[in-house]
Amino acid sequence: MREGIVFNIEELTVHDGDGVRVTVFMKGCPMRCSWCHNPEGLKAQPELLYKRARCVGCGECQKKCDHEDCKPFGRCLHVCPYDCLTVAGERYTSERLASKLNKYKRIFDACGGGVTFSGGEPLMQWEFIAEVIDRLDGINIAIETSGYAPMHIFKSAVDKLDHIYMDIKLFDAEAHKRHTGCDNAMIKENFLYLRLSGKPFTIRTPLISGITDTEENLSAIKEFIGDAHWEKLPENKLAGAKYDMLI
Ligand code: SF4
Ligand code: SF4
């Protein structure tokens, strides 16, 4: 059975797809967007978060302990009196995650909705997600993806999912590389597959001041995607405090 790493599960949200959703944030992303508001989702492995402003420097967390879960981090996670230390990233087997999600089935059936996989970049752990989906009791599944994934992974996901939310952030290849660290050729190819797939999908562009919200960029995206359903998302400025927590 496969294991995946999840850094957050938001229960009963209403903004990540149709109806009432449970959103599962998968750890790891190959991109490094300069505006990313989920920095704790970027590294593939679990990592320590440290609330620097609360720390009084007592040194208790640096004393030796025997807890298995503390070993990878070289600090005790259980003694801080000010709750300064937490870990972003929890390992789930596909069975444990599916069992947790299946508990919402009655709510989804009553109100509409389902599960949304987000990240990070959820397609980095696609084989795990596919195994989770196979264990779900007929729940509607959406994904929020950057579209930056090899074509065979992207195709497999499109074929299995009910709705795909895919970003097209910057059309110009050089600007895309400069602001996200990655080339966008694969994203454009994946969009062409998605458009012909017959699956419901939504293209999203985060509006980042002076980067993605320029007339030139938005016109180029519009020309590329044609009449596809397109959402332009306002900038999220809440990431700064989270970057400070990464060690
Ligand atoms: S135990 Fe908490 S307050 Fe003390 S040094 Fe460690 S993080 Fe800081
Ligand atoms: S694709 Fe999303 S999660 Fe990845 S770096 Fe960009 S904004 Fe962050």
Residues 150-203 have pLDDT tens digits of 999 999 999 999 999 999 999 999 999 999 999 999 999 999 999 999 999 999
Provide the pLDDT confidence category of residue 71 given band limits of 50, 70 and 90: very high
Cα separations in angstroms, 3 against 48, 90, 93, 176: 20, 10, 4, 32
Question: Where does residue 185 rank: exposed (0-12), middle (13-18), buried (19+ CB within 10 A)?
Answer: exposed
Contact 164, 157 (CB under 8 A): yes
Distance CA 5, CA 47 (A): 11
Which of the listed residues 24, 180, 190 should we mutate to test ligand 2's pocket, taking the one with most ligand atoms within 8 A of CB? 180
Question: Distance from the CA of 53 to the center of ligand 1, in angstroms?
Answer: 11
Average pLDDT value for the chain? 93
Question: Distance from the CA of 41 to the center of ligand 1, in angstroms?
Answer: 24
Question: Distance from the CA of 73 to the center of ligand 2, in angstroms?
Answer: 25
Residue 245 CB less than 6 A away from ligand 1: no
> What's the pLDDT at 246?
65
Question: Distance from the CA of 79 to the center of ligand 1, in angstroms?
Answer: 8
Residue 85 CB less than 6 A away from ligand 1: yes
Of 14 and 40, more confident: 40
CA atoms within a 13 Å half-sphere pointing along the CA-CB vector of 179: 18
Domains of the chain, first to last: 3-46+89-245 (3.20.20.70), 47-88 (no CATH)
Provide the pLDDT confidence category of residue 236 given band limits of 50, 70 and 90: confident
Contact 17, 115 (CB under 8 A): no
Average pLDDT over residues 106-124: 94
CA 108 to chain centre: 21
For residue 239, pLDDT over 60 is answered with no
Of 44 and 244, more confident: 44
Contact 119, 41 (CB under 8 A): yes
Which of the listed residues 50, 54, 55, 77 should we mutate to test ligand 1's pocket, taking the one with most ligand atoms within 8 A of CB? 55
Instruction: Name which of 11, 47, 49, 42 is nearest 27 in CA terms.
Output: 42
Ligand 2 atom 7 nearest Cα: 36
Ligand 2 closest atom vs CA 41:
3
Question: Distance from the CA of 79 to the center of ligand 2, in angstroms?
Answer: 33
> What's the pLDDT at 86?
92
